[in-house]
Each structure stands twice: as structure tokens, then as C-alpha cells.
Amino acid sequence: MNFKTLGLLSIAAITLWACKSKNKKDEPTADKQKPTIEILAPEANEEVLQNTPLDISAELTDNVELESYKVDIHYVRTGDTHKGTGDQEIEWEYKNEAQINAGLKTYDLKLSTTVPSNAKPGNYHLLIRAADAAGNENEAYIEFKVVLDTN
């Protein structure tokens, strides 16, 4: 093989390599879909007594892969003046967050806590945030009531 033929083959190979188009089907598509959250418990507007268990349940789903969740319960200021059963009433807060095992598209979130005996009666928000592996986030919330424990 002479240098002229080798040179032409090299140019042809470089040209083919440079002009090679990528097959768009082979490229991964970016995940732009947010996770979904369905709060199962407590129910919206449910009344929960002070000093009783509160079960939190939700179903988190994503089209590709879930990554983490955050749960936040906080008092909704409404000017309520009822007194709790404890010595000093508090605007109760609860927070919990965790990573979800890799590869999961659905996750059944189940947590349990106890409403403090001195939690201020009134409306509270339960807020759940979910994030997927691509960084998309979504949130859902419900409002429930903490009521005075008269026992």
C-alpha cells in the first residue's frame, strides 16, 4: 500500500467519523417530570386529639427514580385562644426527612408521631415534599385540626 492510498483512506475514515450522526433514540432523555404525592392519612380536616398518636401515610411515585422526601407539620396561625391541657401551650412542629433507596419508582411513606399534650389546638398543615433523582421536586399538603383533650 502506498502513501497516497493510505492518506486517502485516513481522510475518508476521519470524514466518516466526523460526519457520523447520533441516533436520537439512543440518547437518554432528561427527566423533567415531577414526582407525585398522594396523602392517605391523616385525612383533610380530620380532628386529632392532643396526646394521641398521629399516623402519616402517603404514596410517592416517580416515572424514573425517587430520591428523598421531607415531612413538615406546622401550626396555621388563626388567632385561636383555646388553652391546651399542658402547663404551656406550644405551636407544635414536626419534621422528618430521609433518602429513599436507589432505584425505587414508588415508595409507601409511613410515619407515626404523637401529638403533644400541650399542642395548641387549631389548624395544622401537613406538608410532604418529594424529590426524584433528576432533582425534580413536588409538594402536597393537607390541613387537619388538633383539638383539646378534655380527659
pLDDT per position as a tens digit, 93-141: 999 999 999 999 999 999 999 999 999 999 999 999 999 999 999 999 9
The answer to whether 105 and 145 have CB atoms below 8 angstroms apart is: no
CATH 2.30.40.10 applies to domain 28-147: no
Domain ranges of the chain: 28-147
**What pLDDT was estimated at residue 85?**
47
The answer to whether 60 and 36 have CB atoms below 8 angstroms apart is: yes
Cell numbers at residue 73, please?
407539620
pTM of this structure? 0.75
List all residues 6 or more positions away from 8 whose beta carbon is below 8 Å from its beta carbon.
Answer: none
65-80, pLDDT tens digit by residue? 999 999 999 999 865 4
